[in-house]
Amino acid sequence: MNKNKRVLIITYYWPPGTGAGVFRWLKFSKYLRDYGWEPVVYTPENPEAQGTDHSLEEDFPDGMTIIRRPIREPYGIYKALTGRRKEEKIQSGFLSEGRKPNPADKAAAWIRGNFFIPDARKFWIRPSVTFLKEWLRDNPVDVLVSTGPPHSMHRIALELKKRTGLPWLADFRDPWTQIDFYDKLMLTGLADKKHRKMEKQVLETADSVVTVSQGCAKGLEAIAQKPVEVISNGFDPDDFRNLPTFQHKKFSLTHMGSMNADRNHEALWQALSHLRDNLATFPHDLTLRFIGKTDFSVKESLQKHNLLSHAEFIAPLPHRKALENAADSAVLLLPLNNTPNAAGITTGKLFEYLGLRRPILCIGPEEGDAARIIWETQSGQTVGFDDQEGVKGILLSWYELFLKGKLQTSGTDSEKYSRTRQTEQLVSLLDQAKENASCL
């Protein structure tokens, strides 16, 4: 009989769905049993997933309980209003692949931000609370976990906390009102007030609040007026076994994941254009590889700087295939969103890049959390958003090493960001939450 302590994880993103939001709690769930905790997952059976990758299900612990319940989302109206096909997936972060945003897109964003608070999954809150309250009577757990965005998951856990008194850990993979696209929601004063009230209620009521970086933690602490724990994202060593190695055939710069307009930095394209025009061999060697969704504005910039002929656009791949493609790269591109919260951004792909052990070129705040991790692991270089000369200098030095067949990175001290280490941190918080509850 399994005597592990039990944690109920409320998450919108879960395999076979794909996207950055899937991996954090998939990997926690994979390793929790090693530390005496049994994960139980509550997730939609019909979410608006960005894609499908059944290979991710190989990480499920044997016999793991996954509760899937129907969700009703208003994306049919949204797609009709913006002229999208019914089968077309809605992209996060206001990414638009095929065309420039038009007035209908802006109108739809306004409706999305002002009427669906905290988000379009709000209609799942009440039926989830009703179902889980009954389910928990016959299937007790020791701790509740919610992970957002979407922040409707936190609202479900909040209501369950009120009804059951169970200890609750709220995990913020991204901020709420401090997220980089918050201003693009075009909120009215009333809608903004509602968002901030809900956010504060979640932060104040949760027994523990966790986020992914020091910068995000400081922002949440200012609202919550209490400590916020940091458990960074990480990489799973199992995912990186037997990958191809870089063959030094092309000076290939690869970006994995969504490449949105806020990551479209002119300094990078200007630097590459200069090197192409001034180094005889560079045009032959240069390849720009984009694995995943790429915003229309990025393709426009590449065309403007005569780089489009060097670009390869690869549709989203299963996770293993994406890593195999990226492994044979000279350089891994990490352009951060040029937004007010940039210093606290540590995207999931940063840690995947650490696992790939290829040089990382990060474009973002040189004193930010991502820059600190890259520096301490000796895994690459970080330059400011507008530092064309800095980008050019780094790429030139790396290109010279490439020509000699010596472009490598030491990747030291990256093991501290393994998923097993992150799970150890999580377990200490779960144990503490359970112990505190038992003392009441």
- Per residue in 142-182, pLDDT (tens digit) is 999 999 999 999 999 999 999 999 999 999 999 999 988 88
Res 406 pLDDT > 90: yes
313 touches 336 (CB < 8 A): no
Average pLDDT of span 272-297: 96
* Residue among 238, 213, 202, 383 nearest 319 (CA): 238
Res 70 pLDDT > 90: yes
C-alpha triplet 409, 413, 415: angle, nearest 5°: 110
Res 416 pLDDT > 90: no
Residue 428: partners with Cβ closer than 8 Å, 6 or more residues away: none
**Alpha-carbon distances, residue 330 vs 46, 50, 104, 139, 228 (angstroms):** 39, 28, 41, 51, 37
Better pLDDT: 103 or 20 = 20
List the domains of the chain with CATH numbers.
Answer: 5-234+419-438 (3.40.50.2000), 237-415 (3.40.50.2000)
Average pLDDT of span 22-44: 97
Residue 340's SS3 state is: coil
Residue 274 CA to residue 267 CA, distance in Å, equals: 11
Look up residue 393 and give its two tokens.
């200098």
Question: What one-character-per-residue DSSP string does 226-278 give?
Answer: S--EE----B-GGGGTT-----SSSEEEEEES-B-GGG--HHHHHHHHHHHHH
| Mean pLDDT across the chain | 91
- Confidence label for 414 from pLDDT (cuts 50, 70 and 90): confident
Q: What is the pTM of this model?
A: 0.90
Residue 276 CA to residue 282 CA, distance in Å, equals: 5
